[in-house]
């Protein structure tokens, strides 16, 4: 049986991907950076005052030899970053304000990604989602044609891989939001070696119930099909009609998706969040992510309850995602 993380490592090997880790004094982040450095597949970059990072590493018994540490205050190209930050904010920050904001490790790390020094960023072990995502939205920004970022989980059980979205960001998506999420989720699936077949989920299958909620998903399906005509996408589906061939044959016999969907777009954040946790806890799937979708370059958010292994895995996934940036 092929391990999902081994597949990712094989895909990104020899690509020399650099991933920024702004929380350089967090023990879990330090452990993950050590693992990544020893493997040599992804280059981790720790952010923080060097003496504080070294103290944290010594206390945790972690060897930092060979791992790059950047102190935002002592960074040699700081003035250049300040200039580029002011330019990017386009009148929303003065040079003095930029100097202060770049002391924030997430903002500083995001600028390293924006300027091309690194390929992606992983934070959130010691910061809130807002603290991680806000600089990304301000600096890296969403791709052309994408109005919002969204959060997807890669659900893994044995050799089975599914994408669930949005399970992390958009509380009450509109039809337009759901269409964007569908197209971006398909790109996420491709980034992780899947051929996407997208199901737009609801409590109705092909008009079996009619309400404002089902009409929203029906409209979202049409918009997504228009946005990406080559994408295999259909809806609205109840989950069983999208996942079980026998039920699909009865409920949606004319659909191009016959119980073989592997990308599932939930109609609301509450449905997506509950759905992925049920699948994880009752279905025996491992939930990897969330992967933030729709940004020009990848920035991903950890849970503050994460382990060193979670950090390690999300860094590898961010590296894989970086290879799809701009597509």
Is residue 327 in a domain? no
Q: By residue range, what is the domain housing residue 223?
A: 150-286
Are residue 8 and residue 137 in the same domain, yes or no?
A: yes
Are residue 154 and residue 266 in the same domain, yes or no?
A: yes
Q: What pLDDT is stored for residue 14 in this prediction?
A: 87
CB contact set of 207 (below 8 Å; sequence gap of 6+): 214, 218
Q: What pLDDT is stored for residue 2 in this prediction?
A: 56
Tokens of 10: 């094989």
pLDDT in tens, 21-71: 999 999 999 999 999 999 999 999 999 999 999 999 999 999 999 999 999
Are residue 96 and residue 123 in the same domain, yes or no?
A: yes
* 3-state DSSP of the chain: CCCHHHHHHHHHCCCCEEEEECCCCCHHHHHHHHHHHHHCCEEEEEECCHHHHHHHHHHHCCCCCCCEEECCCCCCCHHHHHHHHHHHHCCCCCHHHHHHHCCCHHHHHHHHHHCCCCCEEEECCCCCHHHHHHHHHHHHCECCCCCCCEEEEEEEECCEEEEEECCCCCCCCCHHHHHHHHHHHHHHHHHCCCCCEEEEECCCCCCCCCCHHHHHHHHHHHHHHHHCCCCEEEEEECHHHHHCHHHHHHHCCCCCCCCCCCEEECCCHHHHHHHHHHHHHHHCCEEEEEEEECECCCEEECCCCCCHHHHHHHHHHHHHHHCCCCC
Are residue 111 and residue 157 in the same domain, yes or no?
A: no
Are residue 104 and residue 44 in the same domain, yes or no?
A: yes
Q: What pLDDT is stored for residue 20 in this prediction?
A: 98
Residues of the chain with pLDDT under 70: 1-2, 325-327
Are residue 157 and residue 260 in the same domain, yes or no?
A: yes
Edge-to-edge order in the sheet of strand 120-123? 68-70, 42-47, 17-21, 120-123, 299-301
Q: What pLDDT is stored for residue 1 in this prediction?
A: 39
Is residue 291 in a domain? no
Are residue 86 and residue 195 in the same domain, yes or no?
A: no
Are residue 132 and residue 156 in the same domain, yes or no?
A: no
Domain count, the chain: 2
Are residue 42 and residue 130 in the same domain, yes or no?
A: yes
The model's pTM is: 0.89
CB contact set of 179 (below 8 Å; sequence gap of 6+): 220, 221, 223, 224, 227
């Amino acid at each position: 049986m092929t391990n999902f993380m081994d597949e990712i490592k094989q895909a990104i090997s020899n690509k020399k991907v650099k991933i920024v880790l702004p929380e350089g004094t967090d023990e879990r982040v330090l452990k993950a950076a050590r693992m990544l450095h020893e493997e040599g597949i992804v280059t981790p970059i720790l952010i923080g005052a060097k003496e504080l990072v070294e103290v944290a590493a010594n206390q945790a018994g972690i060897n930092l030899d060979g791992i790059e540490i950047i102190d935002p205050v002592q960074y040699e190209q700081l003035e250049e970053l300040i200039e580029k930050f002011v330019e990017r904010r386009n009148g929303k920050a003065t040079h003095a304000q930029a100097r202060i904001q770049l002391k924030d490790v997430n903002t500083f790390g995001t600028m390293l990604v924006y300027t091309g020094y690194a390929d992606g960023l992983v934070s959130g072990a010691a910061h809130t989602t807002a603290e991680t995502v806000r600089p990304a939205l301000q600096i890296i920004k969403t791709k052309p044609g994408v109005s919002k970022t969204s959060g997807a989980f890669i659900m893994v059980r044995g050799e089975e891989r599914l994408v669930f979205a949005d399970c992390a960001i958009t509380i009450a998506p509109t039809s337009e939001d759901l269409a964007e999420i569908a197209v971006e989720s398909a790109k996420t699936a491709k980034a992780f070696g899947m051929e996407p077949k997208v199901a737009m989920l609801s409590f109705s299958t092909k008009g079996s119930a009619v309400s404002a909620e089902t009409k929203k998903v029906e409209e979202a399906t049409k918009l997504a099909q228009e946005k990406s005509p080559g994408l295999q996408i259909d809806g609205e589906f109840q989950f069983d009609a999208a996942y079980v061939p026998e039920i699909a044959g009865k409920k949606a016999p004319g659909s191009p998706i016959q119980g073989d969907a592997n990308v599932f777009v939930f109609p609301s954040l509450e449905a997506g969040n509950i759905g992925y946790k049920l699948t994880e806890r009752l279905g025996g799937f491992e939930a990897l992510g969330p992967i933030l979708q729709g940004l020009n370059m990848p920035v991903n958010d950890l849970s503050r309850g994460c382990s060193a292994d979670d950090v390690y895995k999300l860094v590898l996934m961010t590296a894989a995602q970086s290879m799809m940036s701009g597509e």
